[in-house]
Amino acid sequence: MMRETQHHRNMRPMAVDLSPAPGEKRILLEHLGVQGIRRISVYESKGGYNALKKILEKKLSPDQVIEAVKGSGIRGRGGAGFPTGLKWNFVPKDQSKPHYLLCNADESEPGTFKDRVILEHLPHMMIEGMIIGAYAVQAKKSYVYIRGEYTYATKIVEEAIKEAYRAGYLGKNILGSGFDHDMFVHRGAGAYICGEETGLISSLEGKKGWPKLKPPFPAVEGYLKCPTVVNNVETLAAVPWIINNGDKAYSGIGTEKSTGTKLWSVSGDVVRQGVFEVECGASFQTLLEDCCRGMKDGRKLKAVIPGGSSAPILTAAEAMDMTLDYESIASKGSMLGSGGMIILDETRDLVQVLKNLSEFYHDESCGQCTPCREGTGWLMKILHSFTEKQARPIDLELLKTTSNNMIGRTICVLADSIAMPVLSYIEKFPEEFDRYLSESSGQSSLSEKLQAKELL
């Protein structure tokens, strides 16, 4: 549902090289290069919808499906890393209220573009995963919440859903099982906060994307106050593989606590940017040297943002010492997050980088909680005073106290998502701030400039 303008015919898949790279272990992306894989017939020829058939024809119970997903150990791939099987298990078993499954395709964490690859090329893998998930939690309706800007992906997913209806995988009495399920696309309209699961629910309810306090968790009281599961695109797309190959096969890949593979979106100062599927627990060097062919123009690595811009920054030494799993990255004080990795070389000015990110979070704060609405603005203004060379020595402390007064004091984690990075940049790269301080006049005329909108 989009008005077609003269630009319609220029809509196309993401312009990056998606051919397999050395160092990858492709499970989800195994058939990515197959011509026409976004069509149902080609997807079926590669074993597509076999997982759904297996469940419905062998009459596996919803609980058996949940057990398999639990056994696989897969954790949510959107950012929080919560075990998917556990999330499904929280949904009440009774049907006193309708249940819903929501696929979070609002991909908007800066540095992240991996769901787009699934949406644009492998929509049926996600749809099959959604139908299986819906069966597991006994949801009669599901929605794919796609960010409004992803117009091409929306078109592809809408076509794929139509194909799935025609093939009898959606609608009434799916494959003669008695299970009914309807699936719809719901387009967002440009708001980062709608990627937060309760913000997404508010948005789907036709409201501002304001997050809600938890508990109650969506599994108990979500969309329209009914039990609701919200899963990321990549998580759902992994479900058919788990059902086809068994939970043990999946948990046999990766590490004990980070099973399976992870899609990494890599951008920044590397030779080859792109989306790479790597076994959890692989070394950072695998991704940097093998997949991305190393640093661009032979420059040195300065810093890594490992899991989307909300992830605290890592020094080159920390990155070189980490493996690509939840625990290792957490042990360095950051997080795997969405797997949106941004590589920064020795020429990058990290105060400027942080200032850029502070603008993003200030713009995207939903405004509901004071520490976030005001705090993101303060952080941005103080960082502007650095880059305008008007910072006072006390401003470094002000950045820290402002951040500390934001963390953990809001309904959702958007405030933490800039406050924690701010603290990490100051802790790990103090010399970057010192350089600006030594060049600063200490005479701030910032407020006048901001009022004149010269800086914004």
Partner 1 sequence: MANSAVPEQKPDRETPKFSNEAKKKFDELLTRYDSKRSALLPVLHLAQDEFGSLSDSVVEYVAELMDLSPAQVTEVVSFYHMYHRHPVGQHHLQFCMTLSCWMAGSHQLYKNTCSRLGIKPGEVTPDGKFSVAKVECLGSCGSAPIVQVNEAYYENLNPEKLNRLINSCKEGEPQTP
- Judged by CB under 8 A, does residue 5 bind partner 1? yes
Segment contacting partner 1 by CB under 8 A, of 43-51, 79-87, 150-158, 241-249: 150-158
If DSSP codes are grouped into helix, strand and coil, which group holds residue 277? Answer: strand
Of 188 and 260, CB closest to partner 1: 188
Quick check: 32 and 18 in contact, CB under 8 A?
A: yes
Name residue, tokens 């969506």: 218
Q: Which of 63, 95, 189, 394 binds partner 1 (CB under 8 A)?
A: 189
CA distance 254 to 242: 14
CA distance 362 to 238: 34
The distance of closest approach from Cβ of residue 138 to partner 1 in the complex, given in angstroms and rounded to an integer, is 16
Closest to 205 in 3D by CA, of 181, 235, 226: 226
| Number of CB atoms found within 10 A of residue 203's CB | 22
- Judged by CB under 8 A, does residue 116 bind partner 1? yes
Q: Are strands 261-268 and 141-146 parallel, antiparallel or unpaired?
A: unpaired
Q: Are strands 141-146 and 182-187 parallel, antiparallel or unpaired?
A: parallel
Of 265 and 390, CB closest to partner 1: 265
- Judged by CB under 8 A, does residue 2 bind partner 1? yes
Query: Is residue 7 classed exposed, middle or buried when 0-12, 13-18 and 19+ CB atoms within 10 A define those classes?
Result: exposed
Closest to 230 in 3D by CA, of 116, 136, 144, 161: 144
- HEC secondary structure over 346-358: CCCCHHHHHHHHH
Of 243 and 412, CB closest to partner 1: 412
Segment contacting partner 1 by CB under 8 A, of 62-70, 105-113, 243-251, 374-382: 105-113
- Judged by CB under 8 A, does residue 109 bind partner 1? yes
The distance of closest approach from Cβ of residue 259 to partner 1 in the complex, given in angstroms and rounded to an integer, is 26
Question: By CB under 8 A, how many residues form the interface with partner 1?
Answer: 69
> Could you give the string, one character per residue 43-82, with x where binding to partner 1 holds by CB under 8 A and - elsewhere?
----------------------------------------
- Judged by CB under 8 A, does residue 233 bind partner 1? no
Widest pairwise Cα distance in the chain: 75
Segment contacting partner 1 by CB under 8 A, of 46-54, 339-347, 387-395, 443-451: 339-347
- Judged by CB under 8 A, does residue 372 bind partner 1? no
- Judged by CB under 8 A, does residue 11 bind partner 1? yes
- Judged by CB under 8 A, does residue 366 bind partner 1? yes
- Judged by CB under 8 A, does residue 268 bind partner 1? yes
CA distance 160 to 154: 10
Q: Are strands 274-279 and 261-268 parallel, antiparallel or unpaired?
A: antiparallel
Instruction: List residues binding partner 1 (CB under 8 A).
Output: 1-8, 10-12, 14-16, 98, 107-113, 115-116, 141, 147-152, 184, 186-192, 203-209, 224, 265-269, 273-275, 305, 309, 340, 342, 344, 348, 353, 356-357, 359-360, 363-364, 366
